[in-house]
Amino acid sequence: MIRLHTAGTPNGRKVSIALEELGLPYETRAWDIGSDEQKSDEFLALNPNHKIPVLEDDGLVVWESGAILLHLSEKYGGLVPSDPAGRMEAIQYAFFQTGGIGPNLGRLAAQLRRPEAERNGEMVEIFLGEVSRLIGVLDRILADGRPYLAREFGIADIMHYPWMKPMLALKAPPLMERKAVVEWLERIDERPAVQRGMAVPA
């Protein structure tokens, strides 16, 4: 039995997309992170770092989205290239996302959600600058014509997509000027399993 502990956020949706892509049956438990439900004793027993996503899989508890996607790939097969170099490339992009686009876009979005008068202008400038730089890095990588980051669709793309999809929907300027990134996101957009994963939790 697979149970996904999640919320309607990009990190949670990485895992629902992976589960949908792999065609695995799973149960969803949605936590209200707006009311700090993830800081309850019940949640802390699953993840002492009080963050979704958490995956329970036949008694094994895994937290951190990158680790969860690797677990799913290793146990069920798929989403990571089978050759050693391709596998390492996919893992490299997963780490790149959790240390790059994830925290920087997350902090930028947290600033932009505040009323303008309450924003910290210096923080907005720092996070926006880093997000723009990271999108430029992805653009240079994708400009060689590869369809997906680790060439085959998989965890490298899934780690990034739910974070960058809102920027695509908003036609955010630092993204729209990066043609290869926009085309890559549009390619991922078309996948039915991605669309189903993005609708979790219902």
Torsion 167-105-92-31 (CA) sign: negative
Closest approach, Cβ 144 to ligand GSH, in A, equals 27
Cβ-based nearer residue to ligand GSH, 57 or 64: 64
Q: How far apart are CA 169 and CA 176, in angstroms?
A: 10
Cβ-based nearer residue to ligand GSH, 149 or 182: 149
* Alpha carbon separation from 49 to 13, 91, 200 (Å, rounded): 18, 22, 22
Cβ-based nearer residue to ligand GSH, 33 or 188: 33
* Other C-beta atoms lying within 10 Å of the C-beta of residue 183: 11
Closest approach, Cβ 173 to ligand GSH, in A, equals 24
Q: How far apart are CA 180 and CA 145, in angstroms?
A: 8
Closest approach, Cβ 183 to ligand GSH, in A, equals 25
Closest approach, Cβ 190 to ligand GSH, in A, equals 24
Cβ-based nearer residue to ligand GSH, 62 or 182: 62
Phi-psi region of 145 (alpha: psi -120 to 50; beta: other; left: phi over 0): left
Closest approach, Cβ 66 to ligand GSH, in A, equals 6
Q: Write out the residues near ligand GSH by the rule CB under 6 A.
A: 7, 9-11, 33, 38, 50-53, 64-65, 98
Cβ-based nearer residue to ligand GSH, 65 or 104: 65
